Amino acid sequence: MAPMVFHKDLVSVTSTGDPVLNLRVTGQAVMGTAVFCLLAGAVYTMNDLVDVEADRVHPVKRSRPIASGAVPEGIARTFAVALVAVALALAYFKINWMFTLVALLYFTENVAYSFKLKKVAFLDVGLIAFGFVLRVYAGGLATDTKVSWYMLACTALLALFLGFGKRRHELEGEHAGKQRAALEAYSKKSLTGALALTGLATAATYFAYTLDKDTETFFQSNKLWLTAPFTVFGIVRFLFLVSGRGGRGQKSESPTQEMLTDVPFVLNLVLWVVVVLAIVYRLRPG
């Protein structure tokens, strides 16, 4: 079920405000995360079934359970269907019908992506970004919390940035054309431009978000802009990893996976969290 990617589903609860002070919100947030974890498991299983032949020529992906033959394809299909059924049942009976619709839209989008649309350059990354936006929006629905447009924009831009970074990394691979059909339509120049554009847009949008009056009201602080340098460093560090100069280069499956074990990146992330908490709980005006 690709446990290394479940950190992505945590974005479905990033819009919950201050759940520590509200047990109901915490419970709904946990339930919402569980639903998207189950759907993500189904999506990745389904995607591995579709990509089984391409994965077998990939230096890292060929060791995946389905590609290696450790898990029969029939069992994998049954497993994916069961995950979807359980996820949608939890969404409908334990959360609400609007959340269920968004979860179903997320799954439908991923089905279309896996079977057809991931072969279309740039649209493939756009759909991945849209999936992250749906996760964040669903988090708001699950916890009855308003999600700001800045948060949705930051999510979309950051997902595009990371997605283009992954494609740039894959383009350097030895079997790039066999790994992903859409890579044939990409070029280093186009991806470098896309990375620069989305990286700058992400940093600018995040900075604007920290200065927004609604953000100040929500966090009860006007000091959130102090976290912007950490965001810029994270973007620059990711570009460094994409270039293959982060240590392992093409030996890692993706730069997004490598950044989670990159000491400077993780340290920067920890510092960002510490500063945010300090601002929210210690540096409130008045």
Per-residue pLDDT tens for 56-90? 887 778 888 888 888 889 999 999 999 999 999 99
Where does the chain show beta strands of DSSP type E? none
**In the chain, what percentage of residues exceed pLDDT 70?**
85
Q: Which residue has the higher pLDDT, 226 or 68?
A: 226
Cβ–Cβ under 8 Å, residues 35 and 90 = yes
**Structural domain ending residue among the three candidates 131, 147, 163:** 147
User: What is the span of the domain harbouring residue 279?
Assistant: 148-286
**φ and ψ of 252, to 5 deg:** -85, 155
Rounded to an integer, the average pLDDT of 251-265 is: 81
pLDDT band of 284, cuts 50, 70, 90: low
162 and 126 part of one domain: no
Rounded to an integer, the average pLDDT of 194-210 is: 96
Q: Which residue has the higher pLDDT, 238 or 255?
A: 238
99 and 23 part of one domain: yes
pLDDT at residue 179, as a whole number: 58
**Structural domain ending residue among the three candidates 115, 147, 179:** 147
pLDDT at residue 12, as a whole number: 52
141 has a pLDDT exceeding 70 = yes
155 and 278 part of one domain: yes
The whole-angstrom separation of Cα 30 and Cα 152 is 20
136 and 265 part of one domain: no
Q: What is the mean pLDDT of the chain?
A: 85
141 and 10 part of one domain: yes
154 and 263 part of one domain: yes
pLDDT at residue 244, as a whole number: 72
**Structural domain ending residue among the three candidates 91, 112, 147:** 147
8 has a pLDDT exceeding 70 = no
57 and 192 part of one domain: no
103 and 169 part of one domain: no
pLDDT band of 171, cuts 50, 70, 90: confident
The whole-angstrom separation of Cα 143 and Cα 93 is 15
Cβ–Cβ under 8 Å, residues 230 and 268 = yes
The number of distinct structural domains making up the chain is 2
283 has a pLDDT exceeding 80 = no
- The CATH number of whichever domain residue 11 belongs to comes to 1.10.357.140
- Looking at residue 91, its amino acid is A
pLDDT at residue 5, as a whole number: 44
21 and 138 part of one domain: yes
